[in-house]
Structure 1
Amino acid sequence: MEPKLYLKVGNQDEIEVTEAIPELEFLGDSDSPAILNTYQPNVGIDGQILQATNYDKTTINANFLFNFRDWYDFKLIKHKIHQLFQQRQTMRIRTDAEPAIVKYLRPGTFEVKPISDGSHDATFTIPFDNPSGYKYSLLRSDSLYTFNEEGWQLGMNLPSEDLNYTHSESSFKIFNASDIMIDPYYQSHDLMLKINFEGKNLTVTNKTTNTSWSYTNPAKKTDNIVLDGIITTLNGEPASVNTDYGNLTLATGWNDISVTGATDFTVTFSFPFIYIA
């Protein structure tokens, strides 16, 4: 069975590439995580001092093949290929080998030409830049089971139990299936808390990572409070001034969460799982 590549650009619907260009055959893609170590020289001391270790941007190479009847046919197919892939917007791609994992990429420069003079076959490779260096789950944590089994797959670090990301109790656990810690402050990772509460204030604490965030003003249960990374909004309006400017992180695996202050509340943790390979 031929591998499949799915492509989504901006707000457009996701398409299967070989359905958009029937002449095209997807041969698979390849990538590897990239580690970037930053060092600083110290005068008078041999070697250098490690300053930081980060995941660097990567390149995803997608390989294709097509057959053409004549030169005019080749030019037509080539135009379709560039029309589809040479766009200025970020592209979301996924394959049937990892149907529940996506990558957000930018296409690089590539050349489409016959494999040899007189040949009616052409192969080419599109080098996609992956600026974040990450892969992400197709669905966010709070919609993981929306599409039954289409939202997860083997290799996503998920436990053999249903996971709940909306809670109204004072103590609960949140599972982070990512390969790495979710850190909105230092790494700008995507972590959103959707909160409704009745009371004078509310504090959410992750006992596992010793991080917390507090909403210090009174609120009604009908108020929609959102902590999006490190920015807080109240009913869609900026409201970080109503907080202690704290931030939450999520360790890999289970996290022990407590909610104090308000007794009537709901809290939803919404984030994509992050993978490095």
Structure 2
Amino acid sequence: MVKNLKGRYRSNTLFVKKQDEDEFPIQDYNGLHFLDLTLASPQTQPNFVSYSGTDGSQQRGPILFGARTATANFFLETDDEVSFTAKAHDIWQKFYSRTLMRLRQSISPGICVYTVAKGFDFTHLSYFDKSFSIQFDMPSGYRYSVLRSTDFPLDVKDNNQDGIDIGMNLPMEELKYTHSNGEFKIFNPSDFDIQPYEQHHDLNIIFKGTGSPTLENNDTGDIFSYNKTLISSDSLVLNGVHPMLNGNPCEIDTNHGDIQLVRKSWNHFSLTGFSGTVTFDFPFLYL
């Protein structure tokens, strides 16, 4: 569950979350003051091909997006060198980890980035005051929604209203990501098509019920089908491009298909041969 940030922080606050740890706010912490977090622009990776006897070059295949960086700026107050040494160690513990670390800030609480902190040095402004900037690698190059699709529809009584931000491409219509058999639609507010095969995007499609489900995205023509019969105690999950039955690989019993979701659009689906529910679980992706 996302903590409610709106109205609680008068100054922009950085929120740091390591894997399997609680999120930690940094604004005025033990003499450490967060100033701002800035992101580098998206990094395109074209694939230009030149042909002898022709002008210019041509793009081959889709233009990809590479890794980029984010930079957080801080001001640090200390009492003396002993205090500085202790606080430096505390800062290192906060920002270095063996796993990707999630960052977001209170001015845009619904969007986060997953990062790795790079090395940095302190600048001595005076005997007591220091400043420093930490540059973070963003390996995926994406910004992510803090909420996943399965957090919708939102309950106004819960604290996850902070998961909604300006610029997330969300429609006014209520969003649902669990449906029954028949015809239904799924909205992908991402800036990108969700492509589990081409881009290894995070998408779990979870079937719970009975029968032999066939799921088709009528807008893309993608089809996934399970050829055997599910019973009520089964859980079939299409994890990206890897179908799993009760936690075990079952690709041999499928059509080897995968499902994509078109960006900023309603995707219209049909689910046949099955009685139960299907759930689409994925984060939203942004430039």
Q: Provide the TM-score with structure 1 as the length reference.
A: 0.92
Q: How does 1:1-277 map to 2 (within 5 A)?
A: 1-18=10-27, 21-31=29-39, 32-51=41-60, 52-115=62-125, 118-144=126-152, 145=154, 147=158, 148-199=160-211, 201-252=212-263, 253-262=265-274, 264-276=275-287
Cα distance per residue 1:211-230 (max 9 Å; x no partner)? 11111111112210000100
Write the distance in 2 (CA, Å) between the matches of 1:58 and 1:261: 44
SS of 2:200's equivalent?
coil
Identity across matched positions, percent:
37
State the Cα RMSD in Å. Answer: 1.6
Moved more, 64-73 or 201-210: 64-73
Does the CA-based 8 Å contact 2:12-2:27 persist in structure 1? Answer: no
Please identify runs of 4+ aligned residues in structure 1 that moved more than 6 A: none
Moved more, 24-33 or 225-234: 24-33
Does the CA-based 8 Å contact 1:42-1:48 persist in structure 2? Answer: yes
Gaps of 5+ in 2: 1-9
Does the CA-based 8 Å contact 2:11-2:27 persist in structure 1? Answer: no
Q: Provide the TM-score with structure 2 as the length reference.
A: 0.89
Cα distance per residue 1:111-135 (max 9 Å; x no partner)? 12313xx443211111100010001
Cα distance per residue 1:176-234 (max 9 Å; x no partner)? 111111000000011110102322x2111111122111111111122100001000111
SS of 1:60's equivalent?
strand
Amino acid at match of 2:246: N
Gaps of 5+ in 1: none
Q: How many residue pairs align between the two structures? A: 271
Write the distance in 1 (CA, Å) between the matches of 2:127 and 2:46: 45
Write the distance in 1 (CA, Å) between the matches of 2:173 and 2:251: 36
Write the distance in 1 (CA, Å) between the matches of 2:231 and 2:189: 33
